[in-house]
Amino acid sequence: SGACGTSKPKSVASPFIGGNNSKESTQKFDVLSIENVNKSLDYIRPVLMNDGGDVEIVKIQNGKVFLRFQGSCSTCTSQEDTMKGGIETTLRSSFGELLKEIIQVDKLQDEANVINIDAHLNLIRNAIAGLGGKVEVISVENGVCKLRYNGPKGVRKGVDGVIRERFT
């Protein structure tokens, strides 16, 4: 498909480059909120997820939406095309003048501490449990995160990867 997560390095391209897959959301919103932005982004999420990526809403402040790429989107060289051609087109269609600016934040912005790591793990705890695992953050000191994990070894590796991707 020539998309980020499925391409060879020489042919990496945003799934939205040149207007491909760009969609104007048919949903219009009167309030710029995390819930509504998520609903709008759900319109293009299948395209991002098809390539092993996603986008996270970090916060909304004064008409500005702060977003962070996840998965393969976080390392893709075509982030700008995806941001402009897919995400911005969709959000501007949904929010019009309510949306002042879209700001891509660095994945390293959050401090690695027990609260932030635990909150991040909350996003995947149901999936971990569904695969027979359970994880608990014990401590974070001097850049070392200690977890208590019970479950399949492969799931543990996935948990480690999710934490490393977000906090290192």
Structural domain boundaries in the chain: 4-104, 114-167
pLDDT of residue 26: 67
Instruction: Please state which CATH class domain 4-104 belongs to.
Output: alpha beta
Report the pLDDT value the prediction gives residue 18, as an integer from 0 to 100: 46
Burial class from Cβ neighbours inside 10 Å (0-12, 13-18, 19+) for residue 58 reads middle
In this structure, the strands spanning 64-71 and 53-61 are: antiparallel
**Is pTM beyond 0.85 here?**
no
Rounded Cα–Cα distance for residues 38 and 55 (Å): 9
pLDDT tens by residue, 113-145: 898 898 889 888 888 999 999 999 999 998 899
State the chain's mean pLDDT as an integer.
Answer: 81
DSSP 106: P
Judge whether residue 1 has pLDDT over 70.
Answer: no
Q: Quick check: 104 and 68 in contact, CB under 8 A?
A: yes
Question: CA–CA separation, 3 vs 143, rounded Å?
Answer: 34
In the chain, the amino acid numbered 130 is G
In this prediction, residue 4 has a pLDDT band, given cuts at 50, 70 and 90, of low
pLDDT band of 109, cuts 50, 70, 90 = low
Whole-angstrom distance, CA of residue 51 vs CA of residue 9: 14
Alpha-carbon torsion, ordered 21, 106, 154, 126, to 10 deg: -80
